[in-house]
Chain A
């Protein structure tokens, strides 16, 4: 790769990135905590383990889940993730029904706004493509993916958006072996 364009970006601490707070928040007075979990109750081997009711609870796909899917993508320039570089961030992810007028329609649109680390970053398109590919591989078919550069964060944002929004051009880009190799490398860190 040629000269780095932004060799010294600001980094967010991984511990400070937004995470899902566990829905089953443990209370302080819980026997299942700390040292008390180490001693099992005298239970019978033969009692069959029962599955709880929470199995029936549905957990719809939300913004945090989208964020978790893309935050671990590596930046093509740095050995850092898009989350740590704040290229993607939770408030810039939106899920909306694709057809608001048809309430029964399951179609949803995911919009992800990307903030390049510097305004003239030529890799913005590659990053956008990477996010797009990751989401298309990881979301069910009823989701439409819309990846764009956040307004005012890139000098040629409109150009890049045109490229990212154009199905034909995205498809053509994905035929490009060298480009796919870069994107594949970016997604290696996704676990």
Chain B
């Protein structure tokens, strides 16, 4: 059997084998054992066969052989002969592939390309009746010719143009269309199409709008959007289409389908971008006439937005190459009917249609400086006329809003004071009206009745925009505005929601970025002058003054001024014998703290100055106060020390390592001269004043880098003694609450951050000495110490973490009720966020610690509660004694849940949900916090995951019943308003979140009956009574819950369309 015959036998079922045969023959050809002529002659008996399959196989054989030949093997003449041969046989299978192989060869010529194209056009009149894959091959060959031999095709002129259109007409397969559209686009852009514009346009526009929807699991990954994009490229490819495309697309806006309208608008925008300005100009007014309706009678927001975009794009195109504004510009002609329409609509500016008119002005005036100028010239003067004649404030406000819209465009076109580059040479047309703006806005802001807050806010915002607009106002004009703002803040009584003051502060802060000098020269003196020397208790307006100063002082220069002024106030206060109320110095410190938190202190060049003044200076003063040498008691106050500590903490974190080492050495000494002051650790019989300095020490310690640990006093050779001393102070119940907390944090910081891995056993021993198994009862201070020590260990995931957690749970079951209750509350400390032991302060907080605690503790709590439940059933004396254990465990659970994210909770939900439900069963007043935390957790679970997760655990009914119970007001149950409204919120979420947010996976499920349906009647009935709750917020929550159940709980979920 010849190679040809074998090939024809195997080609259907074994492609590899067929390929091998062809390669063998190709080698023979190469080594001259056989000739191509010979092969073609061999084909002879098959290629005239009546069976097309047989013919196809025979041609495929030749194709396969050619494919296997090296690219340079065939001579030009051979290529020519083969091309002619394949072209003759083009309808037979394999011929197209053969041609594809040939045209890739170097020796392939332009003439041959034309020959192939001609063959395609004349033999494939019936292309659309062939299979998709055959059509695909033909398009692919055409596409290859387009990319490699485009000139040849183009030189064929009309023949190729019409031929290609004929080939593709009627094509429906998305894969083929993707290729067809890209071939067509080349023809449209590079051929001379003048005689065939309509033919070409129709050939692609027939496909508009594309309604294709990919089948599920589409292997080809072609989306409707891909097709839309290619089609859009074709329609927008050449300006010659404009007479056809633009009217046709505008017609499509009459469609009832918003999707069709959306596609039409997008294509229109593409045309505007791609056609030349002259063409765009010709249709600009027609387009406006049609799009006007889409904007004024907005059907869908996005249609109105796209329409505005189209109008803006036209204005941008028409601005190209313009260098001077004149009324003869196509741009001016285009804008004329638009500004007229807007002026008409703005006659009654508080009516509904004025809004879209404003939007039109906004998008067009921001298109270019020329568009802006033309619009301002025609619109602003009429607005002033209406303003003068306006009969009410509502109307005036609407007009100022319109002006503000123009100011916003001005900022886009001309930039702000802080904008770099992009200077515009044209003069700002608003300058002509500058004085008028200043008058009208000033009058509206300062001259109208004080209670017209929203009117004044509108004027303020307009004024602010003009003040930040580059090269518009002179400094003295902005200064006037700043004075108005100062006056509002300092002299006016606040009314209503304080909106005006808030806006005034925001405006000053904004101006401080652009014109810091004005703020320093005008606002600062005015505000600082109102600050008293001391708080004599008569007047505390300094708080709002400081508040304002803090918010406008974030800029560097201004902050330096603020710091100097406030620090000197503080220094004077510290020197006074009678410094007045403690709130004042504290407020000053808080103001400094607030601004420093807003700024990046570690890059501030003045940070060393602040460090010297505050950390060294004030800490030293604090140490003097502690030893009774202060002029007054300010720095003996715990709250002041706490604020000062936070400030020091922030600064210590921002300074160099050398300075930090200095701080480390002074952590306890507080920069005091050696003899005057006794540091807290190891001090015997320290006074409360002395002990209180531990607050500052703790904040200083927290700010230090870990590398400074060797400089901390009392830590070498190891920390053991320091830690023991601290523990002793922690467990004693004599210190003040703030001092006590500082001791606890100090202990935790040392163990968590500074104790080396090798020395960890010191802390573990301390823990074990605190929690000894013989002891039955502990005082609350000891419990707290245990928890803070545990926190330090657990956060760094010390090797003993599991042991620590087990011990803590053991304390919960203590027969001593006091111990058990304090322990239960302590669980919120474990993972709770703390300002001192925090990531910001470099504490070692391992990523997995929360998960570790949760997965260790939850099963233990769950099984313990089960034990208690079982024991509780036998009613014996011994079980009565353990009554407190279950609530204690539930409290501990609530404490942990309140400190971890629900994402961690979800895998444990089946274990957890029964526990949460039991928490809701608690009814006493001391369980309020537990129930509130439980409801919070439930709310987050339901909000993020929907009712389905609860249904999966089979607890919908139990949950609904308990939630309803918590909404009741009864004499024997303590349900404060907060619990009532929280549980109503859960009920609301149940109904509102029946499908989880990401429903992609479940969307195709058949509609099922809501698991809430059996509860509906009961819920609606019970909530009807809650509608009469004495508290307004509860009633509001009940209304929301009830309407959600009425609306959303139905037999079957609504079909989404």
A-side residues, CB < 8 A to B, are 4, 7-13, 15-16, 21, 28-31, 33-36, 38-46, 48-49, 51, 55, 58-61, 65, 68-69, 78, 80, 137-142, 184, 187-188, 190-191
**Interface pair A140/B1043, CB less than 8 Å apart:** no
Instruction: Identify which of A10, A60, A137 contacts B351 (C-beta below 8 A).
Output: A10
Of the candidates B499, B543, B639, B829, the one having the most CB atoms from chain A within 10 angstroms of its own CB is B543
Residues of A near B297 (CB, < 8 A) are 4, 7
State which of B70-78, B91-99, B1005-1013, B1023-1031 sits at the interface with chain A.
Answer: B1023-1031
B494 within 8 A of A: yes
**Interface pair A31/B583, CB less than 8 Å apart:** yes
**Interface pair B741/A29, CB less than 8 Å apart:** no
Q: How far is the CA of A15 from the CA of B646 in the complex (A)?
A: 39
Q: A35-B550, A80-B352, A140-B1025 are in contact. Are A187 and B590 (CB under 8 A)?
A: no
Residues of B near A12 (CB, < 8 A) are 394
Instruction: Identify which of A13, A38, A44, A188 contacts B397 (C-beta below 8 A).
Output: A13
- Can you list 25 residue pairs at the A/B interface with Cβ under 8 Å? A9-B351, A10-B350, A11-B352, A13-B454, A15-B454, A15-B499, A28-B540, A35-B546, A35-B550, A36-B547, A36-B590, A39-B594, A42-B737, A42-B741, A42-B742, A43-B737, A46-B826, A78-B352, A137-B1042, A138-B1039, A138-B1042, A138-B1043, A141-B1024, A184-B1047, A187-B1043
Residues of A near B1042 (CB, < 8 A) are 137-138
B890-932 vs A, CB cutoff 8 Å, 1 = contact: the mask equals 0000000000000000000000000000000000001011000
**Interface pair B646/A39, CB less than 8 Å apart:** yes
B784 within 8 A of A: yes
Instruction: Identify which of A11, A42, A46 contacts B638 (C-beta below 8 A).
Output: A42
Q: How far is the CA of A35 from the CA of B552 in the complex (A)?
A: 12
B753 within 8 A of A: no
**Interface pair B976/A39, CB less than 8 Å apart:** no
Q: A55-B976, A137-B1046 are in contact. Are A36 and B825 (CB under 8 A)?
A: no
Of the candidates B590, B822, B1025, the one having the most CB atoms from chain A within 10 angstroms of its own CB is B590
**Interface pair A35/B1040, CB less than 8 Å apart:** no
Q: Which size bracket describes the interface of B in this complex?
A: 35 or more
Residue in chain B with minimal CB distance to A141: B1024
**Interface pair B977/A55, CB less than 8 Å apart:** yes
Residues of A near B741 (CB, < 8 A) are 42, 44-45
**Interface pair A51/B976, CB less than 8 Å apart:** yes
Q: How far is the CA of A176 from the CA of B4 in the complex (A)?
A: 78
B587 within 8 A of A: yes
Residues of B near A41 (CB, < 8 A) are 639, 642
Instruction: Identify which of A13, A49, A137 contacts B1043 (C-beta below 8 A).
Output: A137
B733-762 vs A, CB cutoff 8 Å, 1 = contact: the mask equals 000011011100000000000000000000
**Interface pair B780/A46, CB less than 8 Å apart:** yes
**Interface pair A142/B1028, CB less than 8 Å apart:** yes
Residue in chain A with minimal CB distance to B583: A31
B320-352 vs A, CB cutoff 8 Å, 1 = contact: the mask equals 000000000000000000000000000010111
Dominant SS at the A interface? loop
The 3 closest A-B pairs by CB, nearest first: A29-B540, A140-B1028, A34-B547
Q: How far is the CA of A157 from the CA of B977 in the complex (A)?
A: 42
Q: How far is the CA of A29 from the CA of B351 in the complex (A)?
A: 41
Q: How far is the CA of A59 from the CA of B453 in the complex (A)?
A: 28
Q: How far is the CA of A42 from the CA of B594 in the complex (A)?
A: 17
Q: How far is the CA of A117 from the CA of B436 in the complex (A)?
A: 35
Dominant SS at the B interface? helix
**Interface pair B540/A11, CB less than 8 Å apart:** no
Residues of B near A28 (CB, < 8 A) are 494, 540-541, 543-544
Q: A9-B352, A13-B397 are in contact. Are A65 and B826 (CB under 8 A)?
A: no
For the complex formed, measure the closest distance between the CB of B686 and the CB atoms of chain A, giving whole angstroms: 19
**Interface pair B1027/A34, CB less than 8 Å apart:** no
**Interface pair B544/A33, CB less than 8 Å apart:** yes
For the complex formed, measure the closest distance between the CB of B137 and the CB atoms of chain A, giving whole angstroms: 52
Instruction: Identify which of A4, A13, A140 contacts B394 (C-beta below 8 A).
Output: A13
**Interface pair B1032/A65, CB less than 8 Å apart:** yes
For the complex formed, measure the closest distance between the CB of A60 and the CB atoms of chain B, giving whole angstroms: 8
**Interface pair B587/A36, CB less than 8 Å apart:** yes
For the complex formed, measure the closest distance between the CB of B476 and the CB atoms of chain A, giving whole angstroms: 30
Residue in chain B with minimal CB distance to A106: B1028
Instruction: Identify which of A4, A13, A38 contacts B594 (C-beta below 8 A).
Output: A38
B643 within 8 A of A: yes
For the complex formed, measure the closest distance between the CB of B599 and the CB atoms of chain A, giving whole angstroms: 14
List 16 additional A-B contacts (Cβ < 8 Å) besides A36-B587, A48-B825. Answer: A10-B352, A15-B454, A28-B494, A29-B539, A30-B543, A33-B543, A35-B547, A35-B551, A38-B594, A39-B646, A42-B642, A59-B1030, A68-B1036, A80-B352, A140-B1025, A142-B1028
Residue in chain A with minimal CB distance to B926: A48
**Interface pair A139/B978, CB less than 8 Å apart:** no
**Interface pair A45/B832, CB less than 8 Å apart:** yes
Q: How far is the CA of A139 from the CA of B1039 in the complex (A)?
A: 8
**Interface pair B543/A36, CB less than 8 Å apart:** yes
Residue in chain A with minimal CB distance to B739: A42
Instruction: Identify which of A16, A65, A141 contacts B454 (C-beta below 8 A).
Output: A16
For the complex formed, measure the closest distance between the CB of A188 and the CB atoms of chain B, giving whole angstroms: 8
For the complex formed, measure the closest distance between the CB of B488 and the CB atoms of chain A, giving whole angstroms: 14
Q: How far is the CA of A31 from the CA of B594 in the complex (A)?
A: 14
Residue in chain B with minimal CB distance to A28: B544
**Interface pair A51/B587, CB less than 8 Å apart:** no
Residues of B near A44 (CB, < 8 A) are 737, 740-741
For the complex formed, measure the closest distance between the CB of B693 and the CB atoms of chain A, giving whole angstroms: 14
Residues of A near B547 (CB, < 8 A) are 33-36
B245 within 8 A of A: no
Residues of A near B1031 (CB, < 8 A) are 55, 58-59
For the complex formed, measure the closest distance between the CB of A40 and the CB atoms of chain B, giving whole angstroms: 8
B819 within 8 A of A: no
Residue in chain B with minimal CB distance to A60: B1030
**Interface pair A42/B351, CB less than 8 Å apart:** no
Residues of B near A55 (CB, < 8 A) are 976-977, 1031
Q: How far is the CA of A29 from the CA of B584 in the complex (A)?
A: 11
B496 within 8 A of A: yes
Residues of B near A61 (CB, < 8 A) are 1035
**Interface pair A11/B350, CB less than 8 Å apart:** yes
B591 within 8 A of A: yes
Residues of B near A140 (CB, < 8 A) are 1024-1025, 1027-1028
Of the candidates A16, A36, A40, the one having the most CB atoms from chain B within 10 angstroms of its own CB is A36
**Interface pair A48/B929, CB less than 8 Å apart:** yes
For the complex formed, measure the closest distance between the CB of B587 and the CB atoms of chain A, giving whole angstroms: 7
Residues of B near A60 (CB, < 8 A) are 1030
Of the candidates A13, A30, A40, A141, the one having the most CB atoms from chain B within 10 angstroms of its own CB is A13
**Interface pair B929/A29, CB less than 8 Å apart:** no
**Interface pair A69/B1039, CB less than 8 Å apart:** yes
B396 within 8 A of A: no
Residues of B near A68 (CB, < 8 A) are 1036
Q: How far is the CA of A78 from the CA of B978 in the complex (A)?
A: 37
For the complex formed, measure the closest distance between the CB of B992 and the CB atoms of chain A, giving whole angstroms: 10
B524-560 vs A, CB cutoff 8 Å, 1 = contact: the mask equals 0000000000000001110110110011000000000
**Interface pair A139/B976, CB less than 8 Å apart:** no
For the complex formed, measure the closest distance between the CB of A57 and the CB atoms of chain B, giving whole angstroms: 8
Q: How far is the CA of A40 from the CA of B643 in the complex (A)?
A: 9
B828 within 8 A of A: yes
**Interface pair A39/B541, CB less than 8 Å apart:** no
B353 within 8 A of A: yes
Residues of A near B353 (CB, < 8 A) are 7-8
B593 within 8 A of A: yes
Residues of A near B583 (CB, < 8 A) are 31
For the complex formed, measure the closest distance between the CB of B331 and the CB atoms of chain A, giving whole angstroms: 29
**Interface pair B738/A42, CB less than 8 Å apart:** yes
**Interface pair B1030/A58, CB less than 8 Å apart:** yes
For the complex formed, measure the closest distance between the CB of B589 and the CB atoms of chain A, giving whole angstroms: 9
For the complex formed, measure the closest distance between the CB of A122 and the CB atoms of chain B, giving whole angstroms: 19
Instruction: Identify which of B541, B591, B826, B977 contacts A35 (C-beta below 8 A).
Output: B591
**Interface pair B1027/A51, CB less than 8 Å apart:** no
**Interface pair A65/B550, CB less than 8 Å apart:** no
